Structure 1
Amino acid sequence: MDRLILQKAASYCAYQERTQDEVRKRLQKWEVWGDEADEIIAELISQNYLSEERFAKTYAGGKFRMKNWGKMKIKQELHRRGLSEYSIQQGMKEIPEESYLTGLKEVLMKKKTQLLRTEPDKFKLKQKLVRFALGKGYESELVWKTVENLNE
């Protein structure tokens, strides 16, 4: 195993959390393939530079706090990045239920304030709010319940 490549890969992982997929693609850019790439990834995991569970936790927490994404969108994105079901479940634990509900309510209140300037029709307003929250990745049952409560 090439020590220089391992060092480069370690600093690539130290810079920010990565998935095994991202590291494998980077190794391919450096023309490292097959068994050698697997060895380097195994070494990065054993040295704790690479942890999909840690990636999932960081990613889920960050997307929820910074971009107000819902759980469905976060899970979908973690699946797309090739993470195991276990890692995804661990990542979702980073989103406390109370904060999740509060976050959805705040996002909807903010959007409602914006929309009230241009949308006088209450029915269309409700539709737009629901569509917005679903696009953010929140669960439809939760979205409908929250939108109903906003309009009371």
Structure 2
Amino acid sequence: MERKSYSLKEAKLKLQQYCVYQDRCHKEVNEKLRQMNMIPEAIAVIVSELIEDNFLNEERFAQSFARGKFRIKKWGRVRIVRELKFRQVSKYNIDTALKEIEDSDYINTLDELARKRDAAVKEKNPYKRKKKIADYLFYRGWESHLVYEKINELVK
């Protein structure tokens, strides 16, 4: 099967639409261009033009990613940082993104998640119960000291 080949202009337009639909990181844009069979020189040109025209802004991407994953998926900072690092976002942009999460919201969300999980876990043994709740919160990327503090408060 023959893959469609794109001119520089077509590829740039396609990527502008891709970036307008939702904020993207540099890694996603580069992968998309590679899938479109663009040569490295063309990729470099398109990426720099997308940055110049503000279609591609990694700081904005990191901030909206952190806000969204926290508010919608209830992820903790550990998971957000891990996912941003996986997307090759710079340390500076990760730090900026984490400032999007208010400390009070963060603690309230952890409390709400822990209480919901506590109500859902049927285990009677307090140690097994604590472990089940902790595993759930760790998977979601919450810091261990916060998790243990919350669990010890909930499960006696």
Q: Does residue 113 in structure 1 map to residue 119 in structure 2? A: yes
Equivalent position amino acid for 1:109 in 2: R
1:52 is aligned to 58
2:37 is aligned to 31
Runs of 4+ in structure 1 deviating by more than 2 angstroms, as ranges, are: none
Deviation at 1:86, TM superposition (A): 0.8
1:148 is aligned to 152
Q: Does residue 139 in structure 1 map to residue 143 in structure 2? A: yes
2:49 is aligned to 43
Equivalent position amino acid for 1:131 in 2: D
Equivalent position amino acid for 2:109 in 1: G
Gapped regions of structure 1 (runs ≥ 5):
none
| Residues 1-150 of structure 1: pairs in structure 2 closer than 5 A | 2-115=8-121, 118-150=122-154
Equivalent position amino acid for 2:151 in 1: V
Deviation at 1:151, TM superposition (A): 3.2
Equivalent position amino acid for 1:93 in 2: K
TM-score by length of 1: 0.94
Between the aligned partners of 1:134 and 1:4, the Cα distance in structure 2 is: 44
Between the aligned partners of 2:132 and 2:10, the Cα distance in structure 1 is: 53
Equivalent position amino acid for 1:24 in 2: N
Deviation at 1:16, TM superposition (A): 0.7
Secondary structure of 2:43's counterpart equals: helix
Equivalent position amino acid for 2:136 in 1: F
Between the aligned partners of 2:138 and 2:28, the Cα distance in structure 1 is: 28
Between the aligned partners of 1:7 and 1:132, the Cα distance in structure 2 is: 42
Deviation at 1:96, TM superposition (A): 0.7
Deviates more, 1:95-104 or 1:24-33: 24-33
Between the aligned partners of 2:115 and 2:142, the Cα distance in structure 1 is: 15
